[in-house]
Structure 1
């Protein structure tokens, strides 16, 4: 496994990733791809989409081995959700 040196602060990384997604990627992928993962190289603007982070990043790294990758789930503000939301619904149902 290759460990990359991050070249940006967390804030700059997120800003660039969100900006590229909103302006360049989202208009191309939003229809019919809900829930898929987009991996974006925040330096080149190149991106790959797949059903999970690993496959999306592998596709991007094939062309850009040193990519600085930002992940976005199509149709969601979150790539992953943490918390008790689902557990609370199960308990309420019982």
Structure 2
């Protein structure tokens, strides 16, 4: 499948995704949704939820082949974090 060309700048893409999530999706989520991944098509507002990023994106793309997908992890600011643990205390001898 060919990659879909982005229709928005990175900033606008993120702003729209967050806006749709906050306004339309978050109020509908159940307590057991914590930690799950939400994939949102920012052009239609359609969304899917699952434990796995790939599965949730595939389901959304199956419904909307040209989806512009923004993903969010419920209850977290990050879908994934990279880098060393910056809060680790130095070892003492």
Same-fold call, TM cutoff 0.5: yes
Pairing 1:84–2:81 present: no
Aligned residues: 91
Aligned counterpart, 1:11: 11
**Structure ID, larger Rg:** 2
Map 1:1-94 to 2 at 5 A.
Answer: 1-85=1-85, 88=88
Structure 2 gaps of 5+ residues are none
Which structure features the higher share of helix residues? 1
Bigger CA drift: 45-54 or 26-35? 26-35
Could you tell me whether the CA contact under 8 Å between 1:38 and 1:48 is conserved in 2? yes
Structure 1 gaps of 5+ residues are none
The whole-number CA distance in structure 1 between the counterparts of 2:36 and 2:77 is: 12
